[in-house]
A and B are shown apart, each in its own frame.
Chain A
Amino acid sequence: GESVGLHLPTLSVQEGDNSIINCAYSNSASDYFIWYKQESGKGPQFIIDIRSNMDKRQGQRVTVLLNKTVKHLSLQIAATQPGDSAVYFCADNNAGNMLTFGGGTRLMVKP
């Protein structure tokens, strides 16, 4: 069945370093992915999205890479800051906003 999962449940990085969060998906028909950030006690917040006609998309300090061959995407955060500490989810939006979320990666930024 469809699943979207993550390789690492917790990622600890030093402030100022770059962070890379990975995500694998199983449905080869999936063509639209979204990364969300969820801070403690809050709802998910949209970060960046990517469609399957792209391999890479950049935002402010964030980059998402999509490798359709191995069904893998990653979120790169440049110059990680304490405010980036949160749980990050990838989600498959293959069904009209009825998202399939991965299990999440907790990012901890050490000062």
Chain B
Amino acid sequence: RKEVEQDPGPFNVPEGATVAFNCTYSNSASQSFFWYRQDCRKEPKLLMSVYSSGNEDGRFTAQLNRASQYISLLIRDSKLSDSATYLCVAQPTGTASKLTFGTGTRLQVTL
């Protein structure tokens, strides 16, 4: 079983739609979580950190469920520019900043 698992997609949604991605992690000692965005043939860029109480940044909302060991990302009012691969990332406790990356979920927003 992979340490961080994501549905690879692709998720094809029309502009303006709301879309949600889930990610599960197997290491219960994971303390920190992130969502990164990666455009085709580019480097990953931090989208947002995920906090225990959930957090929102504009159209993006991240949630953490420690009991079920999953993280979610909700994108409201999708834009064409949201088309990318979204990487779920976990940082286990005491691993000196070592991150574990999921394989990513691809989102394609269409007209």
Physical interaction between A and B: no
Interface residue ranges, A against B (CB under 8 Å):
none
